Chains A and B, each alone.
Chain A
Amino acid sequence: DSGVTQTPKHLITATGQRVTLRCSPRSGDLSVYWYQQSLDQGLQFLIQYYNGEERAKGNILERFSAQQFPDLHSELNLSSLELGDSALYFCASSVGAGAGRETQYFGPGTRLLVL
């Protein structure tokens, strides 16, 4: 158990809908990272927050947004969902801000299926 929790574990929804994925980092970790894992694209970095502020952005679509709250939990919002958004979404956390220098601890993921 990494100490990172994600809810829900599974999510099934329809095209055009909007969903929210939630992540609670390990106690004491200030950084939260979001990743998307799909069969064709592999594991892609989406976005990072550090202590409530956006720190780094990866291949995140404009239909997707995220935020980190004062209690450091984070939410990833996916809207106008398309079939191709079906994937496993991981959250990770680390103590500091530098992804290259910090060990990231991954949650178990949320599996999203868009029908």
Chain B
Amino acid sequence: GNSVTQMEGPVTLSEEAFLTINCTYTATGYPSLFWYVQYPGEGLQLLLKATKADDKGSNKGFEATYRKETTSFHLEKGSVQVSDSAVYFCALSDRGDDKIIFGKGTRLHILP
């Protein structure tokens, strides 16, 4: 079945550091890929998405590229801020399927 695997946290970085959160997926078809973010005490928000191979999603300085050959969708940001502290979820939805499958989430702490 379809699944998403992302790096376990917590990840702790200093402000202005470079961020990578790894995400790989298994899917039988051609999925759409997502990154969602959950700030403390809030629901999930869509951060970015990509719907086909080689697409790059970007938002708020975050980027992720849909790599079909490595079945990956790693999240990157060049210079993190304290306000980026949150839990980040990688997710996929297969074409024709109405379900979104989430990874277990990666908690990110940014130190000032």
Partners in one complex: yes
- What is A's interface to B at a CB cutoff of 8 Å? 2, 4, 42-45, 48, 55-56, 58, 90, 92, 97-101, 103-104, 106-109
Interface residues of B in 65-112 (CB under 8 A from A): 89, 93-95, 97-105
Distance in angstroms between the alpha carbons of A48 and B98 in the assembled complex:
8
Interface residues of B in 27-59 (CB under 8 A from A): 31-32, 41-46, 49, 51
What number of B residues sit within 8 Å (CB to CB) of A? 23
Let me know if B99 and A45 touch, CB within 8 A. yes
- What is B's interface to A at a CB cutoff of 8 Å? 31-32, 41-46, 49, 51, 89, 93-95, 97-105
Consensus secondary structure, chain A interface: loop
Distance in angstroms between the alpha carbons of A101 and B43 in the assembled complex:
20
Consensus secondary structure, chain B interface: loop
With a cutoff of 8 Å between Cβ atoms, the chain B residues found around residue A106 in the complex are: 43-45
Q: Which of B44, B93, B95 contacts A90 (CB 8 A)?
A: B44
**In the complex, how many angstroms separate the beta carbon of A85 from the nearest chain B beta carbon?**
19
